Amino acid sequence: MYDEPLRPQFHFTAQAGWINDPNGLVFFDGVYHMFFQHTPFSTQGSAKWWGHAVSTDLVHWRQVEYAIKPDRLGDIWSGSAAVDWRNTTGLGADTIPPIVAMYTSAGGTAPESEGQPFTQSLAFSADGGTTWQPYAGNPVLGYIANGNRDPRILWHEPTGSWVMALYIDKNDYALFTSPNLKDWTRTCDITIPDTSECPDFFPMPLDGDAGNVKWVFWGANGCYLLGAFDGKVFTPEEGPYRLGSGPHFYAAQTWSDIPPSDGRRIQIAWMNGGEYPGMPFNQQMSFPCALSLRTTPAGVRLCQMPVREIEGLREGTSTHTDLSLASNKPTNVATGELLDIETEIEPGRAKAIVWSFRGNVVRYDAEKRMLSCGGRETPVDLPGRLLRLRILLDRTSLEVFAGEGEAAFHLCFVPDPANTRVEVAAQRGDAHVRSLAVHRLRSAW
């Protein structure tokens, strides 16, 4: 187990069965909890439970007992979790605050829930996240429209209330507020064009300035709005923009209750659509990333970069400086299936810089200023004419981050075992590699 030919070695996968959306991401007492949409008895997504994994470093995960199972209200679809530090729900025990999860009860998805609509329900843990039980008063929010689902809860300290972002229908979302996670009032409607499902909603300091905070309203495909929030109404000011341009990045969510001493906003996504033929599991998560909100040449944008904890997997590094790339002559710079690569390249007279990672191409078109991978492309300007890339290569995935992470690609692939080469080439002109660090990684399992 965990060393099958197509098993990712530092991206999370379930021991067996299907997974999709990450759910209920919450940090408590030194432990990161990750719940996830899970079909434990099949590699195809059918009946959905909440699987559960824990980690102390976001890299080494241990799958534990299933948290929430289907019931008379429906299968357990996506949602979120947070620590109820003030015990507003009254569900805590002794001095331990409850951890509360809110999820969609997907009525009508199994014979047990036939005739039930989609509603929103609670489950809670009174022992720090070890065991979970549904709230006896479920559902806490009734049917609104069509497939209303994917509640994202957060505590809003200035107003002393809970806030929930909920997908309603088509491109429409809504915000609700509550004093106790049980009684909800609709306060605001939001639309993100060409976007649906799996909202996330959180504040971010601009350029690290805690006195200049914008709120991010996020949809499942990585499109987001930037704006202001007064505790009830979100007012969009910019966007929609998109983070994550690759074909395999969906339903991303950020962790709740990261302590102020850390201060990061950490995100993980489902790398949807990967293929793992013959494996006892199906699908994988992205590697966790720290988000930042930065002023870029294109304007204010969300950026993402792998969390620093990946450095604990490094077991050897090869470095190169002042490496010349002759026109149209590929250079082999590494071999391996588990790599963390950092590089800075001056395109010079080259019309394009082309990387091949085990046959998967990443191309920067210097004339169009476009970065492409997996059949997708996104604009990337080069401050100082310097192309900065960070690349994570796992057995079945490639993640590419440009600059400070303002452009990112997430790609799944079925590898050719005989091809472990990493090559780089300049096309139609010479280029210069200012620096290249290839970190070999060991398995997280």
169 is catalytic: no
Tokens 């992205």 map to which residue?
286
Sheet of strand 118-125, all strands in order from the earlier edge strand to the far edge: 75-83, 99-106, 118-125, 133-134
Helix, strand or coil for residue 418?
coil
Q: Which amino acid is at 126?
A: A
Is the separation of the CB atoms in 44 and 37 below 8 Å? Answer: no
Q: What phi and psi, each to the nearest 5 degrees, are found at residue 92?
A: -75, 165
| Residue of 253, 262, 259, 265 whose CA lies nearest to 294 | 265
For 35, 239, 271, the CA distances from 275, given in Å and listed in that order, are 22, 33, 10
Choice among 3, 21, 200, 230 that is catalytic: 21
Helix, strand or coil for residue 202?
strand
Which DSSP letter does residue 246 get? S
Contacts (Cβ under 8 Å, ≥6 apart) of 222: 242, 243, 244, 245, 249, 250, 252
Residues designated catalytic = 21
